[in-house]
Amino acid sequence: MTTEPPTVELPKHPLYALTTSELSDQRRQLELAIGSCDGMDPVPSARKDLQGRLDDVIAEQDDRTRQAAHA
């Protein structure tokens, strides 16, 4: 088992500029990376960073869903 925290590349554009598909891919990558942190020792700061990024992606998806519902 590796002891290196997982990394997920930052998207090339801000979240608001990503397509729905790109946003979904980013979410999936972050969720997988966070899941792979389980049982690893050097992870708290890396996991916190990944979780913060995931929270931002989820917020963007929720905002788009709200906007679509009111359109």
Q: How many domains does one find in the chain? A: 1
- pLDDT score, position 23: 97
- pLDDT score, position 5: 65
Q: Is residue 39 part of a domain?
A: yes
pLDDT tens for each residue of the chain, 71 residues long: 456 767 899 999 999 999 999 999 999 999 999 888 777 665 678 888 999 999 999 999 999 999 999 98
pTM score, whole prediction: 0.83
- pLDDT score, position 44: 75
Enter the tokens of residue 50. Answer: 């990944």
Query: Which distant-in-sequence residues (6+ apart) come within 8 Å of 21 by Cβ?
Result: none
Segment holding 3, helix H or strand E:
none
Angle 16-21-23 (CA atoms, 0-180°, nearest 5)? 40
- pLDDT score, position 3: 62
Q: Is residue 1 part of a domain?
A: no
- Give the domain extent around 39: 15-69
